[in-house]
Structures are given as C-alpha cells and as structure tokens.
Structure 1
Amino acid sequence: MSRSSEISTLERQRVIQLDTAEALHVKAKEESRVFTPTEQAEFDSAMRAVERIDIELAPLKQAEQLSGLRARAIEAPAYIPLFSPTAQNPTGQAITGKNGLPLGSGFTRYAMCLAAGKGNLNASLEYARNAYGQSNPELLTIIKAAVAAGTTSDPTWAAPLVAYRDMQAEFVELLRPATIIGRIQGFRRVPFNVRIPRQTAGASVGWVGEGAVKPVSRLSFDSITMPFSKMAGIIAITEELARFSSPSAEELVRRDLVATISQFMNIEFIDPSVAPDSTTNSPGSITYGAQELASSGSDMSAVSADLAAMLSAIVSNGFPLEGLCWVGNSRTKISLMNLRTSQDVYAYPSLALNGSLLGFPFIDSASVPLNASTPATTTLSLIAPGEILLADEGQTVLDASREAALSLSDDGATPLVSLWQSNLVAIRAERYVHWLRRRDGAVIVLTGVQY
C-alpha cells in the first residue's frame, strides 16, 4: 500500500470513530442525560482510537512532506495570506468558496444583509434579493428559513439549515488558519457538559521471586466536566456601509469578523496570565498554572539547552514525543530561523523549509504576549495536543440590531451611543468553545525568552 493510500485509509477510519463519538453525544443530549456506563466505554474507545490514528498519521504525513521537499526545489508557503486578492493555494488555484466567491463571502454577506435590514428579517430578505439574488441565491433560502416557522408536517423545513451550515463552514475554514487552535492538530475533542473520567494514578508492578507474594495495587480516577463557555463580540458599522456595500466593503467586514474572533481566541488560549473565571465560565489559557522553566539565554548554546530542557520535562511527565508542537511569538520564530552555529550555518533550517522545529510543528502568533521589559521577553510553549480537551460547537452565530444603545468600548466605560441616532448597525457574533488540560504536565512553558 502506498503512503498516500495508507494516509487516506487512516483518515477514513478517524472520521468513522469521530462519527461514533458524535452519535453517542447527540443521543445523550436529545434525552437530556449523561452517558450510560456502556456509552461512556464506547465513547472513550472511539476517542482512544482517534488518538491512536493521529499518532500513526503524524510520521506518515511528515514523511510525505519530506518526499515533496526532495521532489521540488522551491517549497510552497506554510500558509496562505487570508485576504490577498491574488492568494493561491499550493496547486496554483485561487482560494474561493461556493459560487467562485472568496472564502467566507457567504457568511459575510449574511451579516451584511442582517445589518442592512436593521434587525428586521423581512427587510434583510428584500435587501438580499436585490443585492445578491443572482450571485448568492442560497442567502434568500437561509433568510427565509429564519422568517418562516417550522412544523412537524413540513418535510423540507430543515433543508435551509444545510445551506446555512455550508456557509458557516466556509467562514470557519477562513477563520481556522487565523487561530492557534485551528492550526494545531490532534486535540482530544469532547462534547459539552459531559462527565469525563480521568486516571490520576496507575497500577504498580515489580519482579517477584518463586512463591513470593505479588504486589497488589489499584487505579485511581477522578472526573471532569466540560461546561458551556460562550465568547461574544459586537461589531458596529454604518448603515451606509451595510446598504451600499461593494466587494471592498464585504472584504472590510470579513477582515473585521475574522480578526476580532481570532485575536480574542488566541490570547485566551495561550496567554499564561489568563486565569479561569467562574463568573463568565471562561476556561483560562492552557498555559495558566502550567509547569514553567526559565530561559538560560539567547545564544546558540543557551537556545539548545532551553529546547532540550523542555523536551526532557515533557518526557519526564510521562508523555511520548509523538504529536508535540511548539507555540511561540512570531519574533521567536524569526530569531530561530536566523540563528547560526559557530560554523556559520543555520541551526534550524527546517523552520524555513516546513515550519518545524526539531521535528515538531512550530505555531507562531503575535498573540503570544511580549512583556514590557528591557529587553522585551516572551514565552515559548511545548504542548501535547492529545492531552488538551477541546469542546467546540464549530459555528459562529450572528444577529443584528439598530434599536439599541451601546458603549463602544471593551470595558463599557464610555458613554452610551444610540445606534438609531448615529445611523449605526450592530452585528453580534457568538461562539461556544471550551478547553482544558487533561493532565497538567502536558504543557511546558519557557519564560523570559529574549529570542
């Protein structure tokens, strides 16, 4: 079997296991109950299978990538600029979604229609018919679905939801490369509000002599529950922008939606100072309270010692090296890409070739904080994604209104502004997502990084 066929087979097996886990979750949710012991065992078995497949896929994909590097002289960029009008994927084709429009355009146009209708769905439908009736007929179906009530006797009532789901998936696909979560592979995905058993101590074994007593021990478990956590934001635009929008205006709204959601998610996910908050039910970052190591310097020997110490720490905590990834500030990645040995050769050439450091993916983001010190320092994290529990509804819900007064600041400290009086329309975006370290030793944070 070829490597690509083996990868395809494993990916199909992974989808089957995820579908099994999702079906169990849906059944329990519809019946408003937790898993039965049998269902819990089936769910755990499916998730363990997904984890095993991810471990098998990692070296196969890495080998395939290395084969591609040998086959061509110039490597395709690690990621594609999100908003460049000439952006192309590695095959040379332009990045487009449904109907040949830029990725995420359907979702953005839906937001613009809601804004143009000023919260009135009938007005939004009329605007969509005039502005996008030819190029985006799905919008009419989606907005109509919001106007009409559903009945149990109507066999086509749920059909518009399919179009909305497709449109939302396009936006999520656009959002994914802008978030740290979307760029890391191998999270342990779990449903909301379901109790998950967690092993805290293992059995003990040892050598015994003939006729000697064998050691007896017991496993220890506790349980955790992934609660519902909601992030929300409001974007205010003028009625003129919503009503007289052109492709450039759509681009502006699309940029703002992606930037607003991704920047907030990145900071909340990776900033070590973000603590859990029971008031808002927010999870806190995966680096909060994680094991920390202090950086030993910024020269070649110090950097090597830092990276080796982080890898040794995560192995000492009982985690395998497979599937790990680094997360750091973009400044750190640039510094490591340009770091040279005493022989004046690049110390980590793979960062420029395929974005990996010591064989593990390096996820860079400007959301990894830079401390206001002299010199400015930052953090570098080593993460075992398989030990990070992630519950994600996978969709962003929009609503719009102009009949409100808003404080146009993050902290609500500024005076209220009447949307109606100022000819403004507010678009509200909401998303349900929660993350949690399954075991604390799965994340190592290097502090005081000057590179």
Structure 2
Amino acid sequence: MTDQISDVVGTGDFAGFLPPTLAQPYFDEALRASVVQPLSRQITLGPNGVAIPVTTTKPTAAWVSEGGQKPVTRGGQALVTVEPKKLAAIAVVSAEVVRANPGGYVTNLRPQIGEAFAIAFDQAALYGTNSPFTSAENPNYVAATDKTVTLGSAAPGAGGLFTDLNAGLSLLVNDKKRLTGFAFDSIAEPIFNTAVDTTGRPLFIDSPTIETAATVTAGRLLGRPAFIGDGVAEDETVGFGGDWTKTVWGTVGGISYDVSTQATVTIDGELTSLWEHNLVAIRVEAEFGWLCYDVDAFVKYNEAAGGDNGDTE
C-alpha cells in the first residue's frame, strides 16, 4: 500500500483491497481503542451475516426418588441473525506530506483509522448513534436499558462511589441478570483514581501488564473487567455495567480502500476540491456486525448534576 500511495501523488486514482491477513492490524487497532469490543463476544461473520442461537430459558433439574419419574425440562433457544454493515472513514492530508514520507504516513494512518472505527462502533453499540443495526422494533443498543444509577447518590460515609456501583449490581441481580464488566468514559477516570471501597482499598485496579492503546485504560471494578476510553459518555451517562455475554460483534473479510487526488470531499461542512488544494484523500471501508439481544441485562451510570460525584474517601 505504501508504494501505491506514493504513486498516487503523481498519477491519480487507484482502488484496492486489503485481505484479512493484511487488514487484521487495522481491526486490532480498533479493538484496542474500543471499550465495547473487548467486553463482548467476537464471532465470525459471512458476507450475508450469520444466525446465532441465543438462550431464552434454561433447563432445570429436580431431585427424584429411586425409580421415580424423572422431570422433563426444556431449554429454550432462538436464532438471531447478525448482519454486517459497512463502516467507512476518509483521511485527508496534503500531497507534500505523503510525498515526503509515504511509509510514515501509512504507519500513522493505521491507528487513526482504527480509533475512528472504534469510536463509531462504540457509539452505535452503546447509544444507537447513526446505527444501521437499530430499528423501532429492535433498539439493539445498550443505553436502551431502563436501569439507571446516578453516581454521587450515596453519601461519602455510606461508601460513596463503591455503593453507587454496587447499586447497579443490585438492580441487575434482582432482575436475575449478571454483571460481567464495565465500560466508562475517560471523563470518569479521575473519579475512579481517587475512589476507595468501604475498607479503604482503591476501587479501580488498573492492569499495567495488559497491552492497550493509550486511548483505553483496562482494569477491574468490583472484581470485573473494566475499560475506560473515549466516546462512551453522552448527555449525563458516563458508563455502563452489565452482562456483556448478551452482546456479540464481528467483522467480514478485509478492508477496501481507494485514494484520490481529484475528487471533491466535504471538509468541515464545505465541499473541497482535492486537486485545487493539492490534497490526498484515502477512503477506508470495512464491514462490522453487532447484536445486543438483551438490553435489560445492562445498567446506565449517570453523572450527578453539576458533575459532582462526591468525595469517596
């Protein structure tokens, strides 16, 4: 791809396709910059999607006497289709930058595209923002849950932030749901850095041995995996907890791309001629799939009015 970008500065347009093996680093960058993907189950998608079984009811067992009739039970399952949808981004840079160091530009482009994919994916998965997976009949995003806890509700002497997080756990288990992990926005990180539990231990335990992108901090809250990154907050909501086994995601094939110095693109809301401004645009496209088949398995954590979550010490 480096030689092709170098050539395009002087020759014009081209198009291409990165097969899965070469495209994987881009998907890896998106995974490292996402807070949703590490928590959710990844599946293999085909071009036409895939039908996956989801459990609706679980089988039960009962004690019986010797020679007694054995109880009959049934575990309910349903097939749900996960369909891939296209996600795209256009990177625009001056032709002089590409010409001077095409290899360095491609190296820098990969994490930028990965982060752009990750943020767009997370916002669709969490809030249904510009999501092709959401409909009126099927909200298919985490924030559709009606379970909500406001951080700062508990007084400092009553456990502070620890009690607030535990209140979310309580909402879930009382509804026969599980808590497998947390996703919080970066704006909540300073709050967790000073928060302690009821015995004075740090509430958020980071994972320095886990290799992640600088945009994501991995750790544990209430003994569960927790990821803190950009793009999670919207309005008053700053994070989520819940059963992430109720969500799945996947990608199809590789990444398609094309580069142009002649097209007209929208930059800051205005149509801009690449040729007139000596610019190079690289358009990257990939297909992702997403499914949240139990929105009631999640709880939203909202920021207290005024952004004050209280002193947790």
What TM bracket, shorter-length normalisation? 0.7 to 0.9
1:311 matched residue in structure 2: 169
Counting only pairs closer than 5 Å after superposition, residues 172-183 of structure 1 correspond to structure 2 as 172-182=27-37
| Structure-1-length-normalised TM-score | 0.53
Q: Is the 8 A contact 1:330 1:366 kept in 2?
A: yes
Q: Is the 8 A contact 1:188 1:387 kept in 2?
A: no
2:5 matched residue in structure 1: 112
Q: Is the 8 A contact 2:182 2:241 kept in 1?
A: yes
Q: Secondary structure at the match of 1:421?
A: helix
The answer to whether 1:436 aligns with 2:291 is yes
Q: Is the 8 A contact 1:268 1:285 kept in 2?
A: no
2:248 matched residue in structure 1: 389
Deviations 1:79-100 (A, max 9, x none): xxxxxxxxxxxxxxxxxxxxxx
1:227 matched residue in structure 2: 83
Q: Greater helix share, 1 or 2?
A: 1
Q: 1:400 Cα deviation (Å)?
A: 1.3
Separation of aligned partners in 2, 1:246 and 1:120: 16
Structure 2: which amino acid aligns with 1:429? V
Change (3 A) 1:215 1:180: same
Which of these residues, 228, 234, 237, is aligned with residue 364 of structure 1?
A: 228
The answer to whether 1:422 aligns with 2:277 is yes
Q: Greater strand share, 1 or 2?
A: 2
Structure 1: which amino acid aligns with 2:203? Y
Structure 1: which amino acid aligns with 2:230? A
Separation of aligned partners in 2, 1:348 and 1:325: 14
Structure 2: which amino acid aligns with 1:312? S
The answer to whether 1:191 aligns with 2:191 is no
Change (3 A) 1:291 1:275: farther
Structure 2: tracts of 5 or more residues without a match: 210-218
Separation of aligned partners in 2, 1:342 and 1:278: 41
Structure 2: which amino acid aligns with 1:224? V
| Structure-2-length-normalised TM-score | 0.73
Q: 1:179 Cα deviation (Å)?
A: 1.9
Structure 1: which amino acid aligns with 2:182? W
The answer to whether 1:260 aligns with 2:113 is no
Separation of aligned partners in 1, 2:130 and 2:94: 36
Structure 1: which amino acid aligns with 2:298? V
Separation of aligned partners in 2, 1:400 and 1:286: 33
The answer to whether 1:292 aligns with 2:150 is no
RCO (CA 8 Å, sep 6+): is it higher in 1 or 2?
A: 2
Structure 1: which amino acid aligns with 2:285? E
Structure 2: which amino acid aligns with 1:308? N
Structure 1: tracts of 5 or more residues without a match: 1-106, 122-142, 147-160, 372-376
Separation of aligned partners in 1, 2:130 and 2:263: 32
Change (3 A) 1:313 1:341: closer
Q: Secondary structure at the match of 1:368?
A: coil
My pick for the range that moved more, 308-317 or 349-358, is: 349-358
Structure 2: which amino acid aligns with 1:364? I
Deviations 1:93-140 (A, max 9, x none): xxxxxxxxxxxxxx6x3673474353247xxxxxxxxxxxxxxxxxxx
Q: Determine which structure has more spread, i.e. the larger CA radius of gyration.
A: 1
Q: Secondary structure at the match of 2:276?
A: coil
Deviations 1:390-424 (A, max 9, x none): 12226432211233222224xxx53x333233322
Change (3 A) 1:328 1:278: closer
Q: 1:436 Cα deviation (Å)?
A: 0.9
Separation of aligned partners in 1, 2:57 and 2:248: 19
Change (3 A) 1:402 1:437: same
- Report how many residues are paired: 289
Q: 1:433 Cα deviation (Å)?
A: 0.6
The answer to whether 1:329 aligns with 2:223 is no
Separation of aligned partners in 2, 1:384 and 1:171: 27
Q: 1:328 Cα deviation (Å)?
A: 0.5
Structure 1: which amino acid aligns with 2:109? V
Q: 1:232 Cα deviation (Å)?
A: 0.9
2:213 matched residue in structure 1: none
Change (3 A) 1:398 1:113: farther
Q: 1:335 Cα deviation (Å)?
A: 0.9
Which of these residues, 252, 262, 265, is aligned with residue 403 of structure 1?
A: 262
Q: 1:330 Cα deviation (Å)?
A: 1.8
Separation of aligned partners in 2, 1:191 and 1:425: 32
Q: Secondary structure at the match of 2:78?
A: strand
Deviations 1:164-195 (A, max 9, x none): 5443233333443222245x156152534222
Alignment identity in percent? 20
Q: 1:428 Cα deviation (Å)?
A: 0.7
Alpha-carbon RMSD across the aligned residues, in angstroms, is 3.8
Q: Secondary structure at the match of 1:367?
A: coil
Q: 1:429 Cα deviation (Å)?
A: 0.7
Change (3 A) 1:110 1:436: farther
Change (3 A) 1:341 1:328: closer
Q: Secondary structure at the match of 1:420?
A: helix
Separation of aligned partners in 2, 1:320 and 1:220: 19
Separation of aligned partners in 1, 2:185 and 2:223: 18
Deviations 1:35-91 (A, max 9, x none): xxxxxxxxxxxxxxxxxxxxxxxxxxxxxxxxxxxxxxxxxxxxxxxxxxxxxxxxx
Separation of aligned partners in 1, 2:194 and 2:54: 42
Q: Is the 8 A contact 1:389 1:437 kept in 2?
A: yes
